[in-house]
Amino acid sequence: MSNKIKTVEIRFENNDKPYTFKTVLSFLKQDDYVVVETIRGLELGKVASMPKTMSAKDKPSDFKPVIRKASKKDINRYHMNKDQSKEDRVLVEKAIKDEKLPMDVIGCEYTLDQSKLIITYLSEKRVDFRNLLKVLTSIFPCRIELKQIGPREKAKIVGGIGVCGRSLCCSETRGDFDMITISMAKNQLLSLNISKLSGQCGKLKCCLKFENDYYTDAKQGLPQQNTSVEYEGNMYRVADFNVVSQTLTLAKKEEVRVITFQDYRDYETRMKS
């Protein structure tokens, strides 16, 4: 075994994003289970790629360490913790109900050594849980961490199927969520019906972000809908602008013409030459 520090990508259950850790365990291979130190504590993860030499720009202090390759005892402990956390969730929810707090528990999870219980909850407003924390500390012989998340983070954890028939984008997003704005819907010439533009999480659909750059590029150098343009010696109104079919519908009183984006661009090029 080489003592040279390398980096290795690790994934965790219910999170597709790989995280980078440092390790001296050069024998690790893909799909090995490992015990790692995270900001939350000791956790069980799975190797996503072979260890590689640390780049010159990286420092060992930039990464948390892989503690060891997981043993059968570690893996069994992990599954026991999952079963235990399901039972303890009932106690957590009862304590929240007794305190009359507006908190919707999404999940309870122990660190591998059971030194901490992480309670993830959804709430529309800031919650004063100081008294709840005292109650939970009296019930559980470990540290308690209460973590508030938003609707999109909830969808990422819970999962589901979108109206498109695919897994929810929130559940497949790696890392932080991108900002999605109503201007993206306007850019894509969509009807501004918020109920139709919103996903199961109640926020604007992720696909608005995914497709926005495509629409921006496709519309480059083209007239906007309902503007007047000159084409082949006649003045027209742009009656329709269809990015999917790559066509413009040009209209005047006695004529309607459907041309491709390329037709229009070629004409503009000829007029400028």
Model confidence pLDDT, tens digit, residues 49-66: 999 988 878 888 889 999
Instruction: List, for residues 181-231, the tens digit of each pLDDT value.
Output: 999 999 888 888 888 888 877 788 888 888 899 999 988 889 988 999 999
H or E element at residue 122: strand 116-122
The pLDDT value given to residue 172: 66
Please provide the size of the chain in residues.
Answer: 273
Task: Specify the pairing of strand 116-122 against strand 143-149.
Answer: parallel
Cα angle, residue 222 at apex, residues 216 and 224 outer, rounded to 5°: 85
Tell me the domain boundaries of the chain.
Answer: 6-70, 76-149, 155-217, 228-272
Structure tokens at 153: 């983070």
20 pLDDT exceeds 70? yes
132 pLDDT exceeds 60? yes
Average of per-residue pLDDT values in the chain:
89
Structure tokens at 97: 């109900």
Q: How many CB atoms within 10 Å of residue 149?
A: 17
126 pLDDT exceeds 70? yes
Tell me the C-alpha distance between 113 and 171, whole Å.
27
Q: List the single range of 53-57, 62-66, 72-76, 80-84 with lowest mean pLDDT.
A: 53-57
pLDDT band at 1 (very low <50, low <70, confident <90, very high): very low
CATH class entry, domain 76-149: alpha beta
H or E element at residue 104: strand 104-110
Could you tell me which residue, 152 or 214, shows the higher pLDDT?
214
pLDDT band at 14 (very low <50, low <70, confident <90, very high): confident
From 214, 265, 270, 202, select the one nearest 243 (Cα to Cα): 214
Q: List the single range of 13-22, 112-121, 141-150, 257-266 with lowest mean pLDDT.
A: 13-22
Task: Specify the pairing of strand 228-231 against strand 41-47.
Answer: unpaired
**In Å, how far from its chain's centre is CA 25?**
30
pLDDT band at 176 (very low <50, low <70, confident <90, very high): low
Tell me the C-alpha distance between 226 and 237, whole Å.
6
